[in-house]
Amino acid sequence: MNPMMIVIGLIVLALAGLIFANIKVVPQSKAYVIERLGTYHSTWQTGLHLKIPFVDRIAKRVSLKEQVVDFRPQPVITKDNVTMQIDTVVFFQITDPKLYCYGVESPLSAIENLSATTLRNIIGELELDSTLTSRDTINAKIRVILDEATDPWGIKVNRVELKNIIPPREIQDAMEKQMKAERERREAILRAEGEKQSRILVAEGHKESKILEAEAEKQSAILKAEAVKEAKIREAEGEAEAITKVQSAQADAIKLLNEANANDAVIRIKALEAFAKAADGQATKIIIPSEIQGAAGLAEGIIESVKK
């Protein structure tokens, strides 16, 4: 084989290998910052790209995904001079690879220091109780300040969260005692409320019972009164009916006497019979009218004549 052909073949293979080595594929959610002869040239987005050998170089491979960084706890002092340890979690995303590459020397370290100083400034204006209950407010303030400060670095801060707030041990003990006392106070209030409701229910039960008893007695009295009234009405109706019958009988007797044309002697005898019925009681003294006395004498005379 000709040595020249071998050399040419080797050169072709070297050129082919060099070309293939400089063909770059940028994956999804990535960006490459390209420098040409030491200066920024372009930013490669997702896709196929060709780099000029020995002229272009990939200065930085940048991820465009949202990233999370957990910073170590930072000592902070509250307005009422309580020292606490607070660690933060920052969610950020690179929006401009060029600014991210050339804007700051160490972006993560810069964000950590900036978040620490911002956190100290915000917590220094709050007391301990406000710090423990105002996490959302603190998170929002830190996010706004960091987002504004990192904008020239091509970074957007999406969220900032206070992961842990660790007060001193003696403060934790005091807080636990306070919480225990508060729970005991609520328990006592609930127990008192329960007893109060129980007593109210018992009293209302007694009240309802008394009301029902009074209603029952009232109804019983009404029924008794109605029964007595009904009995009296029936008794009165009976007496009236008896009187009516007596008067009717007397009227019939008078009518019969009138129809029979009774003489004075018969009338007197009837009067004597009526007087005898009237005297058939407990009376000890009876005054007999003169007319009846005459009728009595007449009756005796008739009886004696009959006997003879």
Residues 27 and 93 in one domain: no
pLDDT at 107 over 80: yes
Handedness of CA 14, 16, 22, 27 (dihedral sign): negative
Q: What is the DSSP string of 87-99?
A: EEEEEEEES-HHH
Structure confidence by residue, pLDDT tens digits, 254-275: 676 666 655 555 555 565 565 5
Domain endpoint, select from 147, 167, 187: 167
Domain endpoint, select from 30, 61, 92: 61
Residues 48 and 107 in one domain: no
Q: Which residues pair with 57 in a beta bridge?
A: 35
pLDDT for 227: 84
Core vs surface per residue 249-265: b (16+ CB within 10 A) or e: eeeeeeeeeeeeeeeee
In a domain, 14, yes or no: no
Residues 53 and 99 in one domain: no
pLDDT at 187 over 80: yes
In a domain, 237, yes or no: yes
Vertex 80 angle, CA 75 and 82, to 5°? 30
In a domain, 218, yes or no: yes
8 A C-beta contact, residue 42 and residue 59: no
8 A C-beta contact, residue 123 and residue 74: no
Structure confidence by residue, pLDDT tens digits, 14-24: 877 778 878 88
pLDDT at 68 over 50: yes
In a domain, 6, yes or no: no
Can you say how many angstroms the Cα of residue 33 is from the centroid of all Cα atoms in its chain? Answer: 59
Domain endpoint, select from 167, 202, 227: 167
Task: Give the global pTM.
Answer: 0.54
What SS3 string covers 33-45?
Answer: EEEECCEEEEEEC
The whole domain housing 225 covers 178-246
Q: How many domains does one find in the chain? A: 4
Residues 102 and 158 in one domain: yes
Structure confidence by residue, pLDDT tens digits, 205-240: 888 888 888 888 888 888 888 888 888 888 888 887
Return d(Cα 39, Cα 56) in angstroms, integer. 9
